[in-house]
Amino acid sequence: MDHETRTSGRSARPGKIIAVHLSYASRADQRGRRPEHPSYFLKPSSSVGESGGTIERPGGTELLAFEGEIALVIGSPARRVSLEDAWDHVASVTAANDFGLYDLRANDKGSNVRSKGGDGFTPIGPDLIDARSVDPGTLRVRTWVNGSLAQEDTTAGLLFPLPQFVADLSQHLTLETGDVILTGTPAGSGVVVPGDVVEVEVDAPTAPGAPTSGRLATTVTAGRHPAYDERLGSLPHADDAQRVAAWGSPEAAGLPEQAPALSVELRAKLEKAPVAGLSAQLRKRGLNNVLIDGVQPLRPEAKLVGTAKTLRFVPNREDLFTSHGGGYNAQKRAFDAVDSGEVLVIEARGEVGAGTLGDILALRAKTRGAAGIVTDGAVRDYDAVHEIGIPVYAKAAHPAVLGRKHVPWDFDLTIACGGATVQPHDIIVGDRDGVVVIPPSIAEEVVDATLAKEDEDAWVAQQVAEGHPIEGLFPMNSEWRQRYLADTDHE
């Protein structure tokens, strides 16, 4: 690629486009994880668009998100090049917009084939900056939506330097002349709607002449017709988890802020409180239908304490299982999304004619830090799930796979499990006696009362062991109450 091509316009369509999943510290912190090494996905060359063009948001979708990025154009083939020599293989730097359709992301998360491979989903340009004229550590990327600045960061904010992407990729494949590397996006990416205009610019403000790519402008248009046929593949689906991912935060997505995790102090109290005692205190407060009936622990010795993440199955119907049961379905998405300290609570309608989870999903929940799993259905791979060690409560064991009786339908919604209504962020506590659901707003009050009653019952048990009759002692009359208060220094 000669100098003129590198600096005054974009060459022919690239042979391949390789994009980095997560590279800026600002974006990584927004997502709550910092990768140890870069990871990548491929975009088709047919997704390339030019400045001044349009991108269509397909009919039936809502979560088209922009990602302003620095694009590297390879100038000479690179295979097993060193970090020191990698930049010599970059001809040009320019702006790119790595558009993604989050309605399709869950179905092929990671590969991004459908969510980021659409026609026009990778506009690049308008001008190229000669890589020889800039320091790769001092580039800047900015994005505007309808004239308002949405993203701004520099390559100083990268987790990995730009030359590392070239050197790393060259270990695995040959980077050919004209190939493009999209180097990731900083925080600030969000959703755009038909009529919005997105502009991306890459420049080197401290380099001589402050070279720039110019503004890469793309206008969002609306698809006029339904874009996808359920007979051919999975359909778009937008849930709150994808909305948060697309917008960057619950607040930006217009969703209520997620409830905080259990405090260390409250968790410690709940660890000490028996389910029977908690149930009694809830009953005193008028809550009688808070027990998940019929479930038994695989490991009776393990106490279960956490906040609910909910998953719902509906009865199997063959056409619905075809559209919702395969691929990256709601069950897999829920197990991938469960967070540390959460309990995955599954509505299976009490149906035990098929497993609702097995060893692989139990292992995934454990590695995610989940506190446990509760299902009013069955478990398959019972012995393997038991060995994994995560607390699991289920109604039965059954060897059949999910599709025999269930369609995984949705998660993070109000469900019914074992006769109890469970909402996301409810507090779940389980022991040998069973599992109880506690509304978060009264959890502190309920557990304090439970522990106080436990102390009282322990004192009563001591009196019974010493030979005192039950009458008047359990429950305590006023005379025994005074003795209790005196003995335990509660006056």
Annotate 337-356 with b (16+ C-beta within 10 A) or e (fewer): bbeebbbbbbbbbbbbebbb
C-alpha to C-alpha distance for 257 and 267, rounded to whole angstroms: 21
pTM of the entire structure? 0.61
Span 65-120, pLDDT tens digits: 999 999 999 999 999 999 999 999 999 999 999 999 998 887 776 788 989 999 99
Yes or no: say if 62 and 53 are a contact pair by the CB < 8 Å rule. Answer: no
What does each of the 491 residues of the chain score in pLDDT, given as a tens digit? 333 333 334 446 899 999 999 999 999 888 777 888 999 999 999 999 999 999 999 988 999 999 999 999 999 999 999 999 999 999 999 999 999 999 888 777 678 898 999 999 999 999 999 999 999 999 999 999 999 999 999 999 999 999 999 999 999 999 999 999 999 999 999 999 999 999 999 999 999 999 999 999 999 999 877 778 777 777 788 877 788 888 888 888 887 765 556 888 999 999 999 999 999 999 999 999 999 999 999 999 999 999 999 999 999 999 999 888 887 888 998 998 898 899 999 999 999 999 999 999 999 999 989 999 999 999 999 999 999 999 999 999 999 999 999 999 999 899 999 999 999 999 999 999 999 999 998 999 999 999 988 888 888 888 889 899 888 878 888 888 888 888 877 54
Percent composition of the chain: helix, strand, coil (DSSP 3-state, to 5): 30, 30, 40
Residues 6+ apart with CB under 8 A from 226: 59, 60
Q: Which residues contact 319 (CB under 8 A, 6 or more apart)?
A: none
The one-letter amino acid at 377: G
Those residues with Cβ within 8 angstroms of residue 307's Cβ, 6 or more apart along the chain or in another chain = 259, 261, 262, 341, 342, 343, 371, 424, 425, 426, 427, 428, 440
From the list 126, 145, 159, the residue with the least C-alpha distance to 190 is: 145
360 in a labelled binding site: yes
CA separation (Å) from 135 to 125, 209, 284, 392? 19, 13, 69, 54
Sign of CA dihedral 416, 306, 316, 112: positive
CA pair distance 101, 112, nearest whole angstrom = 9
Which structure tokens are listed for 102? Answer: 């989050």
In sequence order, which residues have a C-beta less than 8 Å from that of residue 79 and are 6 or more positions away? 170, 173, 174, 175
Phi/psi for 41 (5° steps) reads -145, 160
The CATH class, in words, for 289-438 is alpha beta
Q: State yes or no: 18 annotated in a binding site.
A: no
Which of these, 102, 125, 111, lies nearest to 180 by C-alpha position? 125
**Residue 456 exposed, middle or buried by CB count within 10 Å (0-12, 13-18, 19+):** middle
Query: What is the DSSP pairing of strand 48-49 with strand 122-123?
Result: parallel
Q: Looking at residue 258, what is its pLDDT?
A: 59
Chain-centroid distance, C-alpha 78: 35
For residue 11, what pLDDT is reported?
A: 45
Q: 241-262 burial by CB neighbour count: b if 16+ within 10 A, else e?
A: bbbbbbbbeeeebeeeeeeeeb
Q: Is 359 annotated as ligand-binding? A: yes
β-bridge pairing 197-203 and 140-145: antiparallel
Burial class (CB in 10 A: 0-12, 13-18, 19+), 445: exposed
Residue 361 assigned ligand-binding role: yes
User: In the prediction, which pLDDT does 252 show?
Assistant: 85
| CATH-assigned architecture of domain 3-247 | Alpha-Beta Complex (3.90)
